[in-house]
A and B are shown apart, each in its own frame.
Chain A
């Protein structure tokens, strides 16, 4: 009876989601203008063209927005930045329009302004301006893309975000692993570890200034925290216990993690600056993979205290622990969505491991991938898609991204094989 009810509920949600799925919004991105003239004007227009093309590339990755191909012939004079030719873009079937400008400054940097308009209503939806180094145009583009994406969907954009993951080379005993971080569009790729020790599960602080990960450098797995600005590193807890599964709180002030005490794995929380950890769970089973709710008041985690791995939610002080998954099989590696609505998980059954989501209250479970070697979901800042790891046999792993709309997962391009992806929030 319960099973029937659950599947009916899932059907209902599935069709509702399909019905709500709107056609992608068409957006026009004519080349950015400039108030400058002469050589400087040409220089600014060249930067503007770079920004324009980068905005197009950003928005083309999304399921909700379809950009018209930018055309250099669509150049408009500076006053039209704030007074665009709506008739022209209505005829081009664009619903939304981005205009903007690049202006040189006396200190060598440039001012970039972006404006987003509803073409049909001839109304401004938002604007953003910033001063950047002339070579930093890509970040300006990401900010403009985010402005447009949020104006259209209401959700935060994912363009100015970072992805941390474990870069893998070789297979079997020769498998080498390094922690790597890159921008979400694949730019600025860099390695944080040398590859001389096994490493796992990098987790970025939401503020973007530090990263926690698991290293086997000391002979046993232990969480380490690295400051991304200074490169300085320290163990999370100053003991020789096995510790793993770190995750930052949404305000970056605390880190929840698992630690072994004898044969028992429990969840602890510790200030991100160090200090004594506080124990949150005491069950004799394996409690691990804690993930904070976006308001920081709750933690979802997995536990096999009831005989099989299931998801539980507790208050951030450890009180009020209750199970939320009852769908059969094992549920593991939960991750709370940035909008608070969903919890993504790995579900393990006879036919392998798949990624799914369930409402934070335990209702409306939905499978997102077909497996059989999928695990470790991590949310995009938009709350509309996830990264996860897919094992392809022989120990090889690749990172994929999948949207909540039920479309097929797409491979995330990384220089090498990759596992354990972690997607940051929007960088301010």
Chain B
């Protein structure tokens, strides 16, 4: 991230200086180099690949973690224990048919149950934070996504 920002800044300064020194002369901007795949993207890809997905699903109005979710979370916990330097945010979602505030609470409860389960499997609590989107983001009802950040 930081590398990318610095690169952009350099590019910008270079262009400004060039224009100021040579008014009326158009110089071609240097061809941007392929940016190095940032660490976070690589981590996200590896996390998703090795834990069988970043999303776990729940039953209607329920925060109970079922067997398929446990399998995914177990793999995630193993990966997170191997990568104590990586922090994840657990984002809970509610049902689109629910009322706004109840959906917010159910999403938060799902996220918290997932966090507790990961901690139970040995992931340090400081490595995982939670939030809830309730029903405010379309598409992902009754689910929790675990996001590397």
Contacts and interface: CB of A to CB of B under 8 A. Distances in A.
Contact of B101 (A172, A201, A263, A348): A201
A263 B116 contact: yes
A346 B63 contact: no
Interface residues of B, number: 25
Interface string A57-78: 0000000000000000000000
A376 B100 contact: yes
A288 B132 contact: no
Interface in B97-143: 97-102, 104-106, 108-109, 112-113, 116, 129-132, 134, 136-138
B108 A353 contact: no
Contacts of B46: none
A173 B98 CA distance: 19
Interface string A170-200: 0011000000000000000000000000101
A221 B112 contact: no
Interface string B25-38: 00000000000000
SS class, residues of chain A in contact with chain B: strand
A333 B99 contact: yes
A258 interface: yes
Contacts of A262: 112, 116
B100 to A, nearest CB: 7
A198 B137 CA distance: 10
A286 B105 contact: yes
A129 B1 CA distance: 64
A348 B97 contact: yes
Contacts of B102: 286, 288-289, 302, 304, 309, 332
Contacts of B113: 263
B101 A244 contact: yes
- 6 cross-chain pairs, A with B, having the tightest CB-CB distances, nearest first: A220-B131, A263-B112, A265-B105, A332-B99, A286-B105, A245-B101
